[in-house]
Amino acid sequence: MKIALIGQAAFGEKVLESLLIEKEEVVVVYLPPDSASGKNETLKELAVANGIPVRQPVRMRDPEVYEDYKQFGAELNVMAFVTDIVPASILNHPPLGTIQYHPSLLPRHRGASAINWAIINGETKTGLTIFWPDEGLDTGPILLQKEVDIEPDDTVGSLYFNKLFPLGVDAILESIRLIKEGRAPKIPQDLSEGEYEPVCRAMKIDWMYPVSVVYNVIRGCNPSPGATTTYRGQAVKIFDCEKHRISGPQTPGTVTEITEDGFLVASSGGSIFVKRVQPAGGAKMPAGEFARSAGLAVGDRLGED
């Protein structure tokens, strides 16, 4: 089967590697333009090493992209971590259509921050969907789904890399086998059962909320975009942390303890032990180091502008 792979980053690379192991004929790889930082794109390197043509258009919607795409004769498009809008002309061109990976149980959590919102909402289960994309935003018919548990201390990073990433690669291969066998379903989504959510770009911590809510916000933004509080009027993002049941009379947001490894912050019905932060304009750093360098002291309040 001739496959056009559209993807990026580690997930796209792993999908390509798996397709090559399965002896599938990948006729072209599409990925975003090279980063201005000069960071190597491993998907591109793998494609070039295997003699596969690589295309890096600024916009997949540009007409010349489709005209060039047609020459490859793809029978199926596989979309593995795609952030650009792929036009219907490309989606519908292959005789077998296009399949796409999405890290939620559609129609729940449509949009680019599906993993973030599932954790922020305190959900205990999520999953992935392989679907047939249409001109809507994650609205096409479902081919297959896989469910996973969200553990109490999962972050976006652990949930994705430990569960949704490897399971997603396997699900794409399973979907291709079903397509080859003529057994791949197209189950319409009931969009009344889900929602399209905005990109999770910034979340502010409200220490007055119950500690479980605060904890969900922080882990649902770890490693990106980071949950933000303030110290002495300056923004500080919190990443790695632990939820403690310890509670006392202190006002939520009050620093109650400082150790070499981090600092404890009062919340409602418990506390958050902060282990990794990022001050405004700086790099991520251990919370204990931040406390020493910033002069953080027991009794200080976070979240006060």
pLDDT score of 36: 75
- Domain 2-193 adopts which CATH fold? Rossmann fold (3.40.50)
pLDDT score of 41: 86
pLDDT score of 217: 98
**CATH of segment(s) 206-294:** 3.10.25.10
pLDDT score of 117: 98
Residue numbers in the chain where pLDDT is lower than 50: none
- Tens of pLDDT, residue by residue over 23-70, are 999 999 999 999 877 677 899 999 999 999 999 999 999 999 999 999
- Tens of pLDDT, residue by residue over 249-258, are 999 999 999 9
pLDDT score of 87: 97
Q: Which of 169, 111, 179, 117 is nearest to 143 (CA)?
A: 179
Q: How do the domains of the chain map onto residue ranges?
A: 2-193, 206-294
* Cβ within 8 Å of residue 101, ≥6 positions away: 11, 79, 80, 81, 128, 129, 130, 168, 171, 172
- Tens of pLDDT, residue by residue over 215-240, are 999 999 999 999 999 999 999 999 99
How many Å apart are CA 164 and CA 150, to the nearest integer?
11
Q: pTM, whole model, 2 decimals?
A: 0.95
pLDDT score of 246: 83
